[in-house]
Chains A and B, each alone.
Chain A
């Protein structure tokens, strides 16, 4: 093999070597790019799950509170009904006592 031929082969081999390294760099870039995408996907998934759970917690709290408030409504309605009955039953007595108070002072 002549010296020129040898140099030519070395140059070709080094070109192959550069190609191997360059392809590895491209592949590395792809790996990082995929990782970046996957990172964003994971983040979105975790955060959207948390957001959905947050909505569930608030909705549950709202429903429980409405249920408790409903009991208060029922108790109040019963209390009002009691007042109305008391009014019907004791109105005359209350008027009589009040008139007596005004007259006697």
Chain B
């Protein structure tokens, strides 16, 4: 009776210990799994972060480079434009002083002829205006035009740089052969010519 009672007590305690060990083992196993899963998830997230970072890095590299290359292209364009404008300014200065050039008499005749032919009137009116044009020069051109042509000598340079403007008597047809007008008409050719001469491009 006493021995079996003791066995019963031991059995109760032994069962409790087994149960306790199971509880702890289950907890340890659950903890191990939780940790393992968390590690796997974290490593996956880390991989994704690094993959995105590599894409971001490439985008950043391209952004920095393209921005700087664009800025440098603008620097080059600005400088080329500045140089061409300086040349154009010198061209305008040279044209404004054309009356002192030996080519002026022939040039003036040609400008007048072009303008008169463009208007196509029998009695055209031709305005001439150059800075510091001499009486000899205006007299010479007066002798070279046809009889019906009316010459008007302007004291000011036409359009600022000088030139010739022809019209019919009613003023309905007008041909502007001033330097400014010619520069505008030749704008694209001039830019090409200046660029190819300076930059050899």
Residues of A within 8 A of B (CB): 1, 6, 9-10, 13-14, 16-18, 20-21, 23-25, 27-29, 31-32, 34-36, 38-40, 42-43, 46-47, 49-51, 53-54, 57-58, 60-62, 64-66, 68-69, 72-73, 75-76, 79-80, 83-84, 86-87, 90-91, 93-95, 97-99, 101-103, 105
Contact = CB atoms under 8 A, between A and B. Distances in A.
B197 A80 contact: no
Interface in B137-186: 179, 182-183, 185-186
6 contacts: A50-B46, A57-B56, A62-B61, A84-B79, A98-B194, A102-B186
B67 to A, nearest CB: 8
B64 A57 contact: no
Given A16-B13, A31-B24, A105-B186, A1 B2 contact: yes
Given A58-B56, A65-B65, A79-B76, A21 B197 contact: no
A16 B183 CA distance: 113
Contacts of B42: 42-43, 46-47
A101 B183 CA distance: 9
A27 B24 contact: yes
Given A36-B34, A84-B79, 19 more contacts: A13-B8, A13-B13, A17-B12, A24-B21, A25-B23, A27-B23, A35-B30, A42-B35, A68-B61, A72-B65, A72-B69, A91-B86, A94-B87, A94-B198, A101-B189, A102-B179, A103-B98, A103-B103, A103-B110
A50 B42 CA distance: 10
A36 B37 CA distance: 12
A100 to B, nearest CB: 9
Contacts of B114: 105
A61 B60 contact: yes
Contacts of A60: 57
A95 B85 CA distance: 11
B61 A90 contact: no
Nearest to A103: B107
B100 interface: no
A34 to B, nearest CB: 7
Given A49-B46, A91-B90, A57 B53 contact: yes
Interface of B: 1-2, 5, 8-9, 12-13, 15-17, 19-21, 23-24, 26-28, 30-32, 34-35, 38-39, 41-43, 45-47, 49-50, 52-54, 56-58, 60-65, 68-69, 72, 75-76, 79-80, 83, 86-88, 90-91, 94-95, 98, 103, 107, 110, 114, 179, 182-183, 185-186, 189-190, 193-194, 197-200
